[in-house]
Structure 1
Amino acid sequence: MSFKVGTSTYVTAAVVTAGAVGGAYCAYHLYKKSQKPKLPTEWTEVGHLKDLYAYPIKSCAPIILNQAVVTTLGLKDGWMRDRILMVVDEKNNFITARAYPEMLLVQPEILTSTNPSPILTLNHPQMEPVSVNLAEVTNTQKPKPAVVWGVQVPVYDCGWEASEWFSRLLDRTATSFRLVYYASSQSRALRPSTNEIYKFTKDDTGALPDEVPYNLINEASVEDLDHRVSDCRVRPQNFRPNFVLAGAKAYDEDYWKFVKIGDNIFEIIKPCFRCILTTIDPETGVRHEKQEPLETLKTYRQSDDPAARRSAGTAPRMGLQMALRSAPGGVIAKNDRIYVA
């Protein structure tokens, strides 16, 4: 009897110990995943920041900036923030220009830090302008859930006028779509399918972008692609970047791990794998009938990494997806020097 009791006690202790060790290992693993990497101390200059863009409304036209503040959620200029608003359907699922190309022609205007009134104005060539007071939205609305790539996010509803405006633009109805505003100061949760081959941390998803809050495109790489495509013009705007780099050689970005713009440091999380959105002319909202430049890009820009290839399928690489690694609050300006490591 005493042996059985002793054995039982031993087994219980062993299970508890194993559980504690396993729990400690899991906690350590999660801790390591959440830690930001050691930053480089040596850098190589590769060019300068030619253009700086923010996209206040997901899938709509950009705002061209001369300078902006960097945050964990993306670029900021007063109330203007990158991809802080989006359009949702009747089920509160996000929609994009992949399905509704007309969205690319919606030009948002947000009064910047030089004026305290946070007024968002929506413009479109075939629509009358409509304005939304974002401060009023945040002061009078309660957060409600919406969905981005399967992840629930808190949002404020921007009201009936904006809803009616987008609904008439996209499907000629009055209430099919609503404009919503991100209702958190934290990055949204990682989606469950986020691939383990990339080093995402909990702060790397931004507000409402597809994956990360910063995207860089190398102008020379775009120019090389443009030379390969015969029946359409290819520009950096096809790829909706935040940063356009001038001065580097084509596809040199494949070998970089970190990028520094001025004093602001970013880690490259993954290449940007491109979709059908690149085939829609950003100035006209018209799809290319032969799905260019995407089809040409597929012929020579597939990933060489087997795991990345399984994740991306046939989507080709163009540009870099990045997350902020230096302290938030720094300023980035056009013509800043760009360095890499």
Structure 2
Amino acid sequence: MPATLTSLHRYPVKSCRGETVETAVVEPQGLAGDRRWMLVDASGTAVTAREVNRLVLVHPEITPTGLRLTAPGVDPVEVETPEPTTQVAVSLFSSSFTAAAAGPAADAWFSATLGVDVRLVHLDDPTRRRTSGSFPGGFGDPGDRVSLADGYPLLVTTEESLAALDEEVLANAPTGREPLPMSRFRPNVVVSGVPAWSEDDWRVVRIGGATFRAVKGCARCVLTTIDPDTGLREREPIASLARLRRYDGKAWFGVNLVPDSPGVVLRAGDEVEVLEAVEPGGGPLRVPTGNPVAPAH
């Protein structure tokens, strides 16, 4: 059986709950609708679930006019996409750019829901932000762009690699522990029908009618330890990844992709073909020691 795209996911607001979709348009900066909104503090610095774990409980849904936001214990709210003229200065890791302010009502809803003062912004023009690979020492091309994902436009994971990781997790866990869901890793595309960890070796992959460059493995952070259903943190999967997948002092799961076929529609069930790969055994593609490594997706 050929390798298959088993599911597609987008995350309308950075660090919030994702949406599983049957189809998605590939854009140069990622899947359409993926990570075009984020929260910032008073200084314009990005606020993520790394600092505010409760963000993973907020469920954004894309609507024709903007977003519908729901969360446990609060009334839902509708947010309109702001006019691009309402630009404010923001920063996300090493990137500084501008985004459109969503307005006081959205800010008040998020601040009350999270218990911290935040502002919601919308990246109306994702060509403003360069990928991590477009900086010296990174992977990718100087013209590559990304929306509000951490470093690169898309993340691919495989069901076989998750199964291998879950074997390690369950072998070292108390009886009754449930396997980790793929939602812990917040991928955009999930593939099945390949050997575990073979994505390390991919360099060019075709998914349906779209081709992608595999530009860097994904170094995982504390965000993966937050249960997406409760907002509570634990040691897994970082503890098990550190035993299985530790390179350059980091734990790795998944591979970052850059699209070379904008406009193509991906569909769950699409065939996946690896067009270029390297010999296995070298571990994930990563920035050479001494150069900055992009944060996890």
Relative to structure 1, is the Cα distance of residues 185 and 226 closer, same or farther in structure 2, using a 3 angstrom cutoff? closer
Residue type at the aligned position of 2:157:
I
Please, which of 169, 187, 206 is the counterpart of residue 146 of structure 2?
206
In the aligned structure 2, how far is the partner of 1:193 from the partner of 1:269? Answer: 11
Larger Rg: 1
Q: 1:280 aligns to what?
A: 226
Please, which of 178, 187, 193 is the counterpart of residue 241 of structure 1?
187
In the aligned structure 2, how far is the partner of 1:260 from the partner of 1:105? Answer: 33
Structure 1 position 57 matched with structure 2 position 9: no
Residue 205 of structure 1: CA displacement? Answer: 3.8
Structure 1 position 72 matched with structure 2 position 16: no
Q: 2:273 aligns to what?
A: 339
Q: 1:82 aligns to what?
A: 34
Q: Decide whether the 8 Å contact of 1:271 with 1:321 is kept in 2.
A: yes
Q: Decide whether the 8 Å contact of 1:88 with 1:178 is kept in 2.
A: yes
- Identity over the aligned pairs, expressed in percent? 33
Residue type at the aligned position of 2:149:
P
Specify every segment of 5 or more residues in structure 1 that has no aligned partner in the other structure, as ranges.
1-44, 112-116, 304-308
Q: Decide whether the 8 Å contact of 1:121 with 1:129 is kept in 2.
A: yes
In the aligned structure 1, how far is the partner of 2:136 from the partner of 2:18? Answer: 28
Specify every segment of 5 or more residues in structure 2 that has no aligned partner in the other structure, as ranges.
276-297
Structure 1 or 2: more strand by fraction: 2
Q: 2:50 aligns to what?
A: 98
Please list, as runs of the form range in 1=range in 2, the aligned pairs for 1:6-155 lying within 5 A after superposition: 46-76=2-32, 81-111=33-63, 117-134=64-81, 137-138=82-83, 141-155=85-99
Which moves more between the two structures, 236-245 or 149-158?
Answer: 149-158
Residue type at the aligned position of 1:144:
V
Residue type at the aligned position of 1:61:
R
Residue 204 of structure 1: CA displacement? Answer: 2.9
Please, which of 131, 142, 158 is the counterpart of residue 218 of structure 1?
158
Residue type at the aligned position of 2:60:
P
Post-superposition CA distance 1:15-50 (Å, at most 9, x none)? xxxxxxxxxxxxxxxxxxxxxxxxxxxxxx851111
Residue 277 of structure 1: CA displacement? Answer: 0.8
In the aligned structure 2, how far is the partner of 1:226 from the partner of 1:123? Answer: 31
Give the alignment's TM-score, normalised by structure 2: 0.86
Q: Secondary structure at the match of 1:316?
A: strand
Q: Decide whether the 8 Å contact of 1:187 with 1:204 is kept in 2.
A: no
In the aligned structure 2, how far is the partner of 1:189 from the partner of 1:84? Answer: 14
Structure 1 or 2: more helix by fraction: 1
